[in-house]
Each structure stands twice: as C-alpha cells, then as structure tokens.
Structure 1
Amino acid sequence: MKIEIWSDIMCPFCYIGKHNFEQALEKLPFKNEVEVEWKSFQLDPSLDAVKTQNTIEYFKEKKGFPADQAAQMIGQVAQMGKGVGIDFNFEKALIINTFTAHKLLHLAKKYSKSSEMEEALFKAHFIDGKNVGDIDELVTLAENSGIDKEEARQVLTSDGLNYEISQDIQEAKNNGISSVPFFVLNGKYAVSGAQPAEVFADALQQTYKETVSPFKDLSQGGASCDTDGCSV
C-alpha cells in the first residue's frame, strides 16, 4: 500500500500531521507493508532564496496580519504542537524559500531516508532555528543523516533535481491540491490537514482492507466453480 504525502518544510501543520500519521501507522499490524513517499509543495515560492524573515515579519508583510494577531495565531499552533510532542520555537524560525531544501528531500529518496530527512528539516526549521535555505546547513543535515556530503553539495548547487520538484508541484495542481499536508492513500482516498491519529488510523485500515480484498461481493451467492470443483 502506497501513501503519498505533499508537504512543505515551512508548514507547521505538516509537521503535526507527520507525527499524527506516523503515530497511527506505528500501531497498525500491516505497517511494514506501507510505502510512504514524500512529495514537494511550496506554500510561497515567491520567498527570497537568500534573505530570511522571522515569523512575525512574514505574517505582517506577506499576509497583512497585525503583529498581535500573528502572535496569537502562532501561539495557537504552538499549543497544537505541544499536544503531539513538538516544541515549536517560532521566535527562532527563519522564513526562507524552501526549494533548495526540497532537493535534499528528493536526494534522501535514493538512500531510503525520506521520512528521516523530512523530520530533520522540520526540526532544523521549527525548533533549532536553522536556515534551511543555506547550502552548508543542508549539507550538515545530509551528513548527519548518513548521506554523502559531497553528493549532497553537488545536488544542492545544481539543477539536477529541479524537474522532480516541479513535477510534484504540478501533480498537486493537477489533482486540485492547494493546501498541505495532503495524504493520498493508494491513489484512491485522500486525507487533508493535520488530522488526529485516530482519523489516520481509520483511513489506513479502510484503505488496506480494500487493497487486500479489492472486490466487494454484491451477490447473494450462486452456482460457481473453483479449483476444488463446482457447487450449486
């Protein structure tokens, strides 16, 4: 069973949704039969790739929110984070274009470390206050995750994975995905937003059940034959 997840590193609900999804999956007996693929999405591709902003500045300048309203919203998200064990540090978070960071996520697929890298990037951005647009910071994250640092630097400073990122973004548009996190379960069902673990668990179980037994028998029995013979 395959789960595709569109998310952006600067999205706090994506971080919360990841934790809730993984908590639900961990308790299911078929967890080892689930393939998770992280897909790229950019909430604000217009952000500068070099200059950073703090979270309050970003909400004021880009969204037009007064500082006190922005602070209230951030406080509410921080409380949601605490409920799932995430200690958001919005005062340190640096807002920047995330395209380069998405290259690292795509490189991590080669090493089968997509989920680990997603977690490392969320932590770097939301908790440690790292600049996830900075090449040196990203190379360090790659090395800490067991990814060759020279390969990481080459990928991050070239256009090699730009197409893959653009394809993810275009696929989201083609499927009408305009907000993240967005989970697609086996190409059939969708779960949007940072849902509680229970919602993810129910959706995963339903999808798995239909994957194992794809046909719903609408008949009331009838004459048939199988490998052991025929019956009426």
Structure 2
Amino acid sequence: MKVEIWSDVMCPFCYIGKHNFEKALENLPFKNEVEVEWKSFQLDPTLNPSETKTTVEYFKEKKGIPEAQASQMVSQVAQMGQMAEIDFNFEKALITNTFPAHRLIHLAKKHNLSSEVEEALFEAHFIDGENVGSIDLLVSIAEKLGIDKEEAQKVLNSDTFDQEVNQDIADAQNNGITGVPFFVLNGKYAVSGAQPVETFVNALQQTYNETVSPFKDLSDGGTSCDADGCSI
C-alpha cells in the first residue's frame, strides 16, 4: 500500500498533517506494509532564495492585511499545533524559497530517509528559526541524518534533482492539487489538509482493506468449490 504526500516545508499545516498521519499509522497493525513517498510542492515559488521574511511580514505582504490580523492568524495556527504536540515558534520562523530544501528531500528519498529529512526541515523552520534555503544548513541536516556530506554538497550546489522537484509540482497541477498537505492513498483516495488522527486512521484502514480484498462480494452465500472440495 502506497501513500503519496504533497507538502511544502514552510506550510504549518503540512507539519501538523505529518504528525497526525504518523500517529494514525503507528496505531495500525499493517503500518510496516505502508510505503510513504513525499512529493514536492511550492506554495510560493516567486520568493527570492537569497532573502528571508518573518511569518507576519510575509502574511502582511501576501494577503495585504494589517499586522494585528496577521499576528492573530499566526496565533490560531500555533494553537492548532499544540493539539498535534508541535510548539510552533513563528516569531523566529523565516520565510524563503524552499526549492533547495526540496532538492534535499529527493536526495533523502535515495537513502530511504525522506520522512526523517522532512521532520528535520520542519523543525529547523518552525522551531529553531533556521533558514531552510541555506545550503550550509541543508548540508548539516543531511550529514546529521547519515547522508555523506560531500554528496549533499554536490547535490545542493547543482541542478541534480531539479527535474524531479519540478515533476512533482507538475503532477500536483495535473491532478488538480492546489493546496497542501495532500495525501493520495494507493492512487485511489485523497485526504486533503491537516486532518485529525481519526480521519487518517479511517482512510488508511479503508484503503488497506480494499488492497487486501479488492472485490466487494454482493452475493448472499451460495454454493461453490475450493481446494478442499465443493460445498452443497
């Protein structure tokens, strides 16, 4: 069973959704049979990768709202984070272009470390107030998780995974995905947004049940034969 997750590093709901999804999966008996693939999505590809803004500054400019309203919006998201056991630190969070971070996520996929790198990037951005557009920071994250430093430097200073990142973004557009997080279960069902744990549990269970037994039996009993003989 496969779950594809479109996400962006600077999306707080993606962080909440990741925690709720993983909590749901942890409680299911078939958790080891679920393959998770993280997909790239950029909420704002127009951002300058060499610049950073505070979250409130970004909301003010992007949405054209007063600072007080922007601060209130941030506070509401922080409260949602607490329910998912995430202590957002929006006062320190730096908004920037996340394309370099997506390169790292694709490198991590090669090493089966996608979820670990996603978590490290969310933590760096939302908790520690680090610049996730910084190559030095991204290399440091890669190295801490066991990825060779030289390999990370080579990838992050090149266009090695640019095609893969852009393909993920194109796939999202082709599938009508306009917001994240967006979860696709076995290419059949979709769950959008930072849903509660229970919603993920139900969606995963339903998808798994259909994976194990893809046919829905519409009959009411009936005679048949199997390897042990025929029933009459």
TM-score tier (shorter): over 0.9
Give the corresponding residue for 2:86.
86
Q: How does 1:120-199 map to 2 (within 5 A)?
A: 120-199=120-199
Q: Which amino acid aligns with 2:103?
A: K
Q: Which amino acid aligns with 1:159?
A: D
Distance 1:190 1:134 in 2: 33
Q: Cα distance, 1:111 vs. partner?
A: 1.1
SS at match of 1:172: helix
Q: Cα distance, 1:117 vs. partner?
A: 0.3
Give the corresponding residue for 2:74.
74
TM-superposition CA deviations, 1:9-36 (whole Å, max 9, x none): 0000000000000011101111111110
Q: Which amino acid aligns with 2:121?
A: L
Q: Cα distance, 1:227 vs. partner?
A: 2.4
Segments of 4+ moved more than 2 angstroms: 220-232
Q: Cα distance, 1:82 vs. partner?
A: 1.0
Query: With structure 2 as the length reference, what TM-score do the two structures score?
Result: 0.97
CA RMSD after TM alignment: 1.0
SS at match of 1:220: coil
SS at match of 1:179: coil
Distance 1:66 1:171 in 2: 35
TM-superposition CA deviations, 1:44-92 (whole Å, max 9, x none): 0111111111111111112211100000000000011111111111111
Structure 1: which 5+ runs fail to align? Answer: none
Q: Cα distance, 1:220 vs. partner?
A: 2.5
Distance 1:207 1:29 in 2: 14
1:200 and 2:179 equivalent? Answer: no
Q: Cα distance, 1:225 vs. partner?
A: 2.8
1:110 and 2:114 equivalent? Answer: no
Q: Which amino acid aligns with 2:131?
A: N
Q: Which amino acid aligns with 1:45?
A: P
Give the corresponding residue for 1:210.
210
Give the corresponding residue for 2:53.
53
Q: Cα distance, 1:126 vs. partner?
A: 0.5
SS at match of 1:38: strand
Q: Which amino acid aligns with 1:21?
A: F
Number of residue pairs the alignment of both structures matches: 232
SS at match of 1:160: coil
TM-superposition CA deviations, 1:150-193 (whole Å, max 9, x none): 10111111111001011111111111110000001111111100
Give the corresponding residue for 2:36.
36
TM-superposition CA deviations, 1:181-206 (whole Å, max 9, x none): 00011111111000000110111111
Q: Which amino acid aligns with 2:171?
A: E
Structure 2: which 5+ runs fail to align? Answer: none
Q: Cα distance, 1:120 vs. partner?
A: 0.1
TM-superposition CA deviations, 1:129-166 (whole Å, max 9, x none): 10000100110011011111110111111111001011
Percent identity (aligned): 74
SS at match of 1:90: coil
Give the corresponding residue for 1:10.
10
